Structure 1
């Protein structure tokens, strides 16, 4: 009976260990399946990047976005910050028909989300500085006004990179420099926001409604209110 040397015993043990390790890591074995499962879970839990201008109805907590848009009668830029329970937005608008500027702070709170359709009421507070130019709006009037802007945003996710939007805005301006001056709009409409890649989204939107205004007591009027815009936004974090 041949007696095994310590060296041969050590070599045999190393060969057995190597074979076991290779079998565990070979394709189709449980070790690899576990690795793939972890990778898939990480991908599935990745953050949804669609939306920066208006979509989504509220940004996820910790997400920041900036945007700008051009249109008629307004141009605008804004900054959005998602928080744990709501979203805060700071925005500046320039009405080039009236040569007026508005600065606003807006809050949004999501009240419905079924995975496809989501909804958030909005409320903004700001100030409007109006030059009173009548070059393109012969019924315009000058003044400093306080703006209160309730509204509603509805988002319908129709594809991985596309959200259809429903928009309602009711900005109400009350005169500060002229206490009798008023302006209010009721606008409804919609749009679409599309994800282009690299955290960038594009928006096309339009609204139609009524506008009522008064420069002083006894001089009030109502006319068509409207707005169209094309915007581009990007997520920063």
Structure 2
């Protein structure tokens, strides 16, 4: 028969093991601690209205319900715009000032994503608007005044190279047709690219450049062709 005094060492050993197990167990997180968002969590948000990257040109179309405001400075244009994702399409309103010619344009555009394969997405754009040209020649000696109707087909390609970075390919072919002077024309074909980076707090920054040709005429039989280009630095914010 085991004596009562034999239980002392056994109880002490069990208490020691329990204390060591409690010391090695991880401490529970405070109840009010905010869960951290990991890279994998951000990747799961891609293509949804909660994905924060993109406000100026990226993504190629905004997700349904997403809204963005942007502005940019550059040469030869500065401008502002509003973007809204609706049922697989994107609607955009934009106002621009061509400060080399002192001409202003107002446009409404629609964009539709036609390809999404891995990190690559592609969307054609079509814009309609009006151009009011002052005819100033202080920086463009071939400029002419008038009111013109603008049709702006284009294409935007996007490569999502990181959770906070999108590389863009750009093609724009704005065509201006004279309203006040039926013989005036202006056509540009510009191609290039850029990069848009998420800065935090729903802000995204854009740097982009395009190069191409510009053909124009003020009256029939007097056409001119020259180098066309566009450089932009933009900042946009996601509102929803």
Shared fold (TM-score greater than 0.5)? yes
Partner of 1:169: 172
Q: Is the 8 Å Cα contact of residues 42 and 163 (structure 2) preserved in structure 1?
A: no
- Cα offsets for 1:43-63 (capped at 9, x unmatched): 775421100000000000000
Question: Which secondary structure state, in structure 2, belongs to the residue aligned with residue 184 of structure 1?
Answer: strand
Partner of 2:16: none
C-alpha distance in 1 between matches for 2:155 and 2:186: 20
Question: Which secondary structure state, in structure 2, belongs to the residue aligned with residue 48 of structure 1?
Answer: coil
1:157 to 141, 152, 160: 160
C-alpha distance in 2 between matches for 1:44 and 1:168: 28
Structure 1 stretches of 5 or more lacking a match?
1-25, 28-35
Q: Please state if 1:192 is matched with 2:189.
A: no
Q: Please state if 1:201 is matched with 2:204.
A: yes
Question: Which secondary structure state, in structure 2, belongs to the residue aligned with residue 132 of structure 1?
Answer: coil
Q: Please state if 1:228 is matched with 2:231.
A: yes
Q: How far 1:110 sits from its partner (Å)?
A: 0.1
Give the TM-score of the pair, scaled to structure 1. 0.82
Is the alpha carbon distance of 1:42 and 1:220 closer, same or farther for their aligned partners in structure 2, counting shifts above 3 Å? closer
Q: Please state if 1:66 is matched with 2:72.
A: no
Q: How far 1:218 sits from its partner (Å)?
A: 1.5
Partner of 1:144: 147
Q: How far 1:219 sits from its partner (Å)?
A: 1.1
Partner of 2:135: 132
C-alpha distance in 2 between matches for 1:144 and 1:165: 32
Partner of 2:102: 99
Partner of 1:13: none
Q: Is the 8 Å Cα contact of residues 42 and 51 (structure 2) preserved in structure 1?
A: no
Structure 2 stretches of 5 or more lacking a match?
1-24, 27-34
Partner of 1:218: 221
Question: Which secondary structure state, in structure 2, belongs to the residue aligned with residue 187 of structure 1?
Answer: strand
C-alpha distance in 1 between matches for 2:117 and 2:213: 32
Q: How far 1:85 sits from its partner (Å)?
A: 2.0
C-alpha distance in 2 between matches for 1:198 and 1:131: 39
